[in-house]
Chain A
Amino acid sequence: MSKKQLLSRLLQMLVVLIGISILTFLLTYLSPGDPVRNMYLAQGLMPDEEQVAVLREEMGLNDPFLTQYFRWLGNCLRGDFGNSFSLNKPVVTLLSARLWPTLKLAFCAMVIMLIVAVPLGVLSAVYHNKPIDYIVRAITFFGVSVPNFWVGLMLTLLFAVRLKLVPVVSSGGSFKDLILPSVTLAIAMTAKYTRQVRTAVLEELHSDYVIGARARGVAESKILWGNVFPNSLLPLITMLGISIGSLLGGTSVVEVIFSYPGLGNLAVSAITSYDYYLIQGYVLWVSIIYMVINLLVDISYNYVDPRMRLRR
């Protein structure tokens, strides 16, 4: 990817980022909920209307939309993402504390996904329309049809409650804490990714060069592992990048189910308590992570495929 392309891409990301931040800021601005009132309720106190009004004035919550937005934006650029109303801590602190557990969870789920999806997808493609293909397709079908939050609950019921193998509530620390959440998160993604692997490999298998190699007497295994599979990696990497977005989003539900101390969980509670700055900070951070990952995927794609590199 040329310097010019990279620059324009970064600019594009910036525009989108600003757009999203305006959008969420607008949403919170227009919402009927009131964070100050909520602050009181969260502490179990009845909100005193006078005090609420005073506090709102102090915090600048009555200022016009653009004023508030630019104030927030300015602070962000200085690294100050504001304070959380409900938890009374700097947003930065809260987000950074929760970032690592979520990344761990997403990473584990991704590892599971790769270990299961790739072999199954390849098998399914190589033996396509044979029994094993039908079995894998049936499995993936159920994988995408089953609601993952239900599965999470059922797995908890079975392994945590009945069999007592893992803790019901995760503290995000040990490996045992991670199993159920990552498996739950991984199920739907693995099913989808297996299908994508199958499609990619199947398409490669129908390439002309496969016929050419066969005509030269090259062994099937060499054709598959030496040529088809490496060539399939290119689209697979792109699909992986897209999956990561779903992975990051899917952690929310899973974290709530398992009371896992991650970003998603934090986001959900921030939303329910109308914690404006926390929501804004979360949206910004996750967007950046997501876009950076996509950028990396695109860059690697451009680099790995010699056709991209050499064709001008």
Chain B
Amino acid sequence: MALLEINHVDISYGKTLTVSDCSLTLNEGEICSIVGESGSGKTTVIRAVMGLLPGGGRVSAGDILFEGESLLAYDQKKWRSLRGHEISMIFQDSGAMMNQTRKIGNTFVEYIRTHENISKQEAWKKGTEMLERMRLPDGDRIMHSYPFQLSGGMRQRVGIAMGMTYQPKLLLADEPTSALDVTTQAQIVRQMMELRDEYGTSIILVTHDLGVAAYMGDKIVVMKNGKIEDQGDRDHMLHETENPYTQLLLDAVPSLGGKRYV
């Protein structure tokens, strides 16, 4: 049984169809990259998996199955136990996804105590441990800091650490490296791949950067205008596919000394 199945899903906002006939299968331990331009619908798809479509958005056709169960039938309670626990999501700016007027530790504790009935002190300890397990230096200082006091790269690593607290089966990553400089990008990418190696976490990565997508993804999905334009495993997508759009994207990757490193 596949971990995640997206079957012929349509997503609409009111009467407007933004994503049509999206199908995707993810198995355990797999990394799938979804690439596309802005507005291609890639973010919408993973938001739908989390049930976090902004106001007015809904899955108007098809089904999303997680471990064989349909997510569309979930009620608020089931979603709350699923989110942050079985499926985690990290965003382009993890710092912004935390309350700016609260210390990171407080946000972390709030999150932990949603899923476990332990005291604030224990939760704080657990959070600090998690940060250190993710090889973040001086976890205690981070817990006592506000999001805006950390660098972009640090924030993303904290976001990943938080997301991995309960070793979710599936990690959804929405443009996690887009706001970072190239060196930090590499760091984050490496860390994310280690997650798969160490914890067996499956990852869906959404990005507009074909280089990152190709490096990380076992499978690559290309989206355009709300539809899946092309998909397949890495080798096929990079070397064998005859889809003109995919080839356009590949050509757009800058090459160094005539050699393309993608």
Contact = CB atoms under 8 A, between A and B. Distances in A.
Interface of A: 208-209, 211-220, 222, 226-227, 230-231, 305-307, 310-311
B111 A216 contact: yes
B52 A218 contact: no
A216 B84 contact: yes
Given A211-B52, A306-B146, A311-B148, A218 B97 contact: no
Given A214-B52, A217-B82, A311-B148, 16 more contacts: A212-B96, A212-B97, A213-B99, A215-B50, A215-B88, A216-B83, A216-B84, A216-B88, A217-B80, A219-B114, A222-B114, A226-B110, A227-B102, A231-B99, A305-B101, A306-B101
Contacts of A305: 101
A215 B79 contact: no
A218 B97 CA distance: 13
Interface of B: 50, 52, 76, 79-85, 88-89, 91, 93-94, 96-102, 107, 110-111, 114-115, 146, 148-149, 162
**Max chain B C-beta neighbours (<10 A), residue from A208, A209, A216, A305:** A216
Contacts of B99: 209, 213, 227, 231
Contact of B97 (A208, A217, A311): A208
30 contacts: A208-B97, A209-B96, A209-B97, A212-B96, A212-B98, A213-B97, A213-B99, A215-B52, A215-B88, A215-B91, A216-B88, A217-B79, A217-B80, A217-B82, A217-B83, A217-B85, A217-B111, A217-B115, A218-B80, A218-B84, A218-B111, A218-B114, A222-B110, A227-B99, A230-B101, A231-B99, A306-B101, A306-B146, A307-B146, A307-B148
A215 B87 CA distance: 9
Contacts of B98: 209, 212
B41 to A, nearest CB: 18
B84 A208 contact: no
A216 B80 CA distance: 8
Main secondary structure of the interface of B (DSSP, over half): mixed
Closest 3 CB pairs of A and B: A212-B97, A217-B84, A216-B84
B96 A208 contact: yes
Nearest to A305: B101
A227 B89 CA distance: 20
**Max chain A C-beta neighbours (<10 A), residue from B52, B101, B111:** B101
**Max chain A C-beta neighbours (<10 A), residue from B94, B97, B100, B115:** B97
A21 B192 CA distance: 67
Contacts of A208: 91, 93, 96-97
Contacts of B81: 217
B20 to A, nearest CB: 24
A307 B101 contact: yes
Nearest to B90: A215
B83 A209 contact: no
B120 to A, nearest CB: 13
A213 B91 CA distance: 12
Contacts of B96: 208-209, 212
Nearest to B111: A216
Nearest to A215: B89
**Max chain A C-beta neighbours (<10 A), residue from B76, B82, B84, B85:** B84
A307 B101 CA distance: 7
Contacts of B50: 215
A211 B80 contact: no
A70 to B, nearest CB: 49
B130 to A, nearest CB: 13
A78 B260 CA distance: 85
Contacts of A216: 83-84, 88, 111, 114, 162
Nearest to B94: A212
B97 A211 contact: yes
Given A209-B96, A222-B114, A215 B83 contact: yes
Given A226-B110, A306-B146, A310-B146, A215 B97 contact: yes
Contacts of B110: 213, 218, 222, 226
Contacts of A219: 80, 114
A209 B80 contact: no
